Structures are given as C-alpha cells and as structure tokens.
C-alpha cells in the first residue's frame, strides 16, 4: 500500500546568493563588480523568512561566505528564527573550475565566515550549480576534510551545465562520515526527471511539481529535497544586459508567479531543515 505524502517531512533548501552572482551571469558580470552592484539578497531573504513564519515551515539556507561577510545580521536572523545555516562556498566558484587546493581553501573560508556570523556550527555544504560530477569526485574528500557533516551537491539528472544522472537518487555515504543528500528526482521511462525545484519549478505547471514530490513520498517512501533562490521571488530585480536567449529565458521566466507557487508548495507538504530530516533531528 502506498505511503501518504502527509506522513513525510521533506527538506526545504534555499541557495542564498544575489541575482548578479548566478553562474550563468559570470560571462556578463565580472566578480570585481559585485561589490558595486545594488544588492537585493537581504530584502528577498527577509521575504522568505516571512513566508516560512506564516506557514510554520523550517528550511536550510545554503549561504555564500561572501554574503555572510556583508550581511551578518541577516545570517543571525535566519538562525534566530529556527532555520539551519549552511555553506554554499565563499565566492560561488563552480567546483569544476577549481583545483582541489583552491576548492578546499574556499569551503574552509566559507565555513569560518558563516560560523562567525551565525554563532552556530555549519554542518552542510552545497556546491554552486551542483558542480560535483564524475570528473571531480575528489571534492567529497575536501568537503569531509573541511569538517562538514553532509553535502547536498548532486542533482542526478542530465543538464547542459550540471548533473550526475547515474548517481544515487537518495542520500548515501559519499565518504566515511559524509552524507550526500541529492536533489529530488522522479524515475520514469528509464530516466530521472527533475522534481526538486530551481528553474524547473518555474517552467513546469505547479501540478506537475506537486505530483513528483507526492510520488517520491508515496511510492519511493522517501523525503524530498527541494531548492530555490531568493532572487526567484524578485521580479523587480535589475535586468542584466547582453544575455543570450537561453540564459535570459531560464533566469527571468515566471518570476512573478514564483511567490504564489511557493505558497502552494508550503501549504501542500511538510517542510523542515536538512539536518533534522536526514541527520536524525540534531537541531
């Protein structure tokens, strides 16, 4: 007999980065300009915190060290409201663009900066753009060495910018003492379909996303892992000039509908922090 979706608590995650830090914008916005651009991450995260408070949901905020260094009060507000603070690296460099030494230095720095701002231990890490794949599995050694307890850096799908379609669909021990918590997919017709948020959540009808999460809960009998970004709730964000058609479509599609869809998602499922859902309720 299939399980009921309402019997499961799923993990809600937010990748805390500003609109100009999106990996797809890297060819158009030099890192040297980040500090001079109008920041919107603070107001967007505050709006997310309001929505979570309204619905009683808790979440994990994978935060850039760059953001934590500049907005320490925002990091403390996340923690004070009962959410988990985790690491998204320091400078939003994809793992595929770094040497093992540079990657280790980046994630160590991020952990120190975020813990200093938050006043609590940072247990989790998520690679920018889910950039751990078959070519750089050494990254798991670095994550474990840096002192993280879990990673949520693998999306088991085929995508032109990321993905590891042959990876396990559900949490597994990537290294001794290090749990990998992949983004949710649905297995259909010998392929993994993206069911864990991001741009797909804005592209697909909400009913399809709801069906996929329910399927994972009821048929796989597993908790789902969903993610989104603060800038996805911000249709008024500055428009970046010169973007390619694909990049522009992916980034700006249905931004005005995102908050409504997120409200439906928070209403239809039970949501909690990654550490509570997958590390045995240690919060």
| Domain boundaries, given as residue ranges, for the chain | 5-277
* pLDDT on residue 281: 62
Rg, the chain, Cα only: 17
What CATH architecture applies to the domain 5-277? Answer: Alpha-Beta Barrel (3.20)
- Residue whose C-alpha is closest to residue 48's, from 15, 2, 21: 15
The model carries a pTM of 0.95
DSSP, collapsed to helix, strand or coil, labels residue 217 as: helix
**Mean pLDDT of residues grouped by 10 in the chain (283 residues)?**
75 98 94 96 98 98 98 98 98 96 98 98 97 95 98 86 84 98 93 91 96 97 98 96 91 95 98 96 53
* pLDDT on residue 157: 84
Q: Is residue 75 within 8 Å of 84, Cβ to Cβ?
A: no
Please state, in angstroms and rounded to a whole number, the distance separating the CA atoms of residues 239 and 163: 27
* pLDDT on residue 283: 47
Q: Is residue 128 within 8 Å of 96, Cβ to Cβ?
A: no
Please state, in angstroms and rounded to a whole number, the distance separating the CA atoms of residues 274 and 47: 21
* pLDDT on residue 202: 96
Please state, in angstroms and rounded to a whole number, the distance separating the CA atoms of residues 183 and 204: 17
């Amino acid at each position: 007999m299939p399980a009921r979706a309402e019997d499961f608590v799923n993990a809600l995650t937010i990748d805390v980065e500003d609109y100009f830090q999106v990996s797809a914008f890297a060819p158009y916005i030099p890192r040297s300009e980040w500090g001079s651009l109008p920041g919107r991450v603070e107001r967007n995260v505050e709006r997310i915190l309001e929505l979570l408070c309204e619905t009683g949901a808790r979440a994990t905020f994978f935060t850039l060290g760059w953001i934590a260094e500049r907005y320490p009060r925002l990091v403390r507000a996340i923690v004070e409201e009962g959410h988990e603070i985790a690491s998204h690296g320091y400078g939003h460099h994809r793992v595929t663009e770094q040497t093992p030494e540079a990657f280790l230095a980046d994630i160590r720095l991020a952990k120190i900066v975020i813990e200093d701002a938050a006043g609590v231990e940072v247990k989790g890490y998520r690679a920018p753009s889910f950039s751990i794949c078959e070519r750089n599995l050494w990254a798991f050694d670095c994550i474990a060495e840096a002192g993280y307890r879990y990673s949520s850096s693998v999306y088991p799908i085929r995508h032109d910018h990321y993905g590891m379609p042959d990876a396990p669909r559900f949490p597994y021990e990537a290294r001794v003492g290090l749990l990998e918590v992949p983004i949710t997919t649905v297995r259909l017709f010998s392929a993994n379909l993206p069911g864990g948020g991001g741009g797909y959540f804005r592209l697909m009808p909400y009913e399809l996303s709801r069906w996929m999460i329910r399927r994972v809960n009821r048929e796989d009998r597993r908790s789902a892992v969903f993610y989104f970004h603060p800038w996805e709730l911000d249709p008024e964000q500055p428009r970046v000039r010169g973007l390619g058609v694909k990049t522009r479509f992916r980034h700006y599609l249905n931004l005005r509908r995102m908050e409504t869809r997120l409200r439906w998602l928070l209403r239809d499922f039970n949501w909690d922090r990654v550490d509570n859902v997958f590390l045995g309720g240690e919060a």
